[in-house]
Amino acid sequence: MSFRPDPRLDADTVFIADGPLSQLRLMDDARFPWLVLVPRVPNATEWIDLDGASQRLLLAEINQSGALLRQHFAPIDKLNIGALGNIVRQLHVHVVGRREGDAAWPGPVWGAGTRRSYGADAPQLASRLARALDALPAKTLPAAR
């Protein structure tokens, strides 16, 4: 059976790439540079559901996602990283690039205002991000076990 993100994640995000552990997705809200990592681990709802090797790999993917945001959406003043899961139970990690004065600053992005979709530009942006991801230095990810 192939991996599928929760239907709400699938509806709100655009696929970028499959990493060693997680699917990387772009949140379809042009107000914020926002990536979502969804580990392809059946029934995982919490960080502690992952074994140690998978936790380390997810941390490396978070680091890589932050580097991608900083590179592609510069300037980024602050990175917000969160795995809440109160609405979508499937384990997923938000990596959000914040800018002072953005639509939610200094509060959280969740529930702030009205989402502004990338629309027809979303697939092209996801493709550019996938290429930029491939170009990041390999040192940001440990070898898969």
The pTM (predicted TM-score) of the whole model is 0.93
Residue 145 resides in a domain: no
pLDDT 10s digits, 48-86? 999 999 999 999 999 999 999 999 999 999 999 999 988
Domain of residue 53, CATH code:
3.30.428.10
Number of domains in the chain: 1
Containing structural domain, residue 11: 7-129
Residue 100 resides in a domain: yes
Mean pLDDT of 26-51: 97
pLDDT 10s digits, 90-105? 999 999 999 999 999 9
Residue 42 resides in a domain: yes
Residue 134 resides in a domain: no
If we measure between CA atoms, which residue out of 10, 15, 14, 33 comes closest to residue 96?
33
Question: Could you write out the DSSP letters of every residue in 20-82?
Answer: SSEEEEEES-TTS-EEEEEE--TT--SGGGS-HHHHHHHHHHHHHHHHHHHHHS---SEEEEE
